[in-house]
Amino acid sequence: MKQIDKLAWVELNDKTILLTKSYGKDVFYIPGGKRDAGETDEQALLREVCEELTVSLDEKTLQYIGTFEAQAHGQPEGVTVKMTCYSGKYHGQLQASSEIEEIAWFTHADKDKVAGVDKLIFDYLYEKGFLG
């Protein structure tokens, strides 16, 4: 069984969560991505968020939220994704990079528009009172 190892940046604002949609994808994702060989969680997250949203995360403010696993969206049955989530402050203005088609702020009610692992994260944040 194959597992995809990803990192995610959970940015909350007024009980909404920031999501991105890449070109050619049919669902939204929490910003982040796969780590390159030898990268720590922090290094991968800082690189991916900068690549997707053109902002710099402040590594000193990163806080671990949790790790979630589910069937990987668009992959054969049995391929799972493990998403390790962090929150943290950023510098700069959020804007979509060339690989990102759209940026959006979602509430828990929008979870039908996201990948399976992100639905688990939505539920977790909702239960904790962080997501409306």
Number of domains within the chain: 1
62 found inside a domain: yes
Which residues contact residue 97 at a Cβ distance below 8 angstroms, ignoring those fewer than 6 apart? Answer: 51, 52, 53, 54
The single residue listed with the structure tokens 């920031």 is: 18
47 found inside a domain: yes
Domain boundaries, position 27: 3-127
d(CA 24, CA 12): 25
132 found inside a domain: no
58 found inside a domain: yes
pLDDT band at 11 (very low <50, low <70, confident <90, very high): very high
Local structure of residue 69 (DSSP, 8 states)? E
Local structure of residue 112 (DSSP, 8 states)? G
| Percent of the residues in the chain that have a pLDDT greater than 90, as a whole number | 96
What is the structure's pLDDT at 1? 72
36 found inside a domain: yes
CATH number for the domain spanning 42: value is 3.90.79.10
Q: What does the pLDDT look like over 65-120, one tens digit per residue?
A: 999 999 999 999 999 999 999 999 999 999 999 889 999 999 999 999 999 999 99
122 found inside a domain: yes
Q: What does the pLDDT look like over 108-128, one tens digit per residue?
A: 999 999 999 999 999 999 999
94 found inside a domain: yes
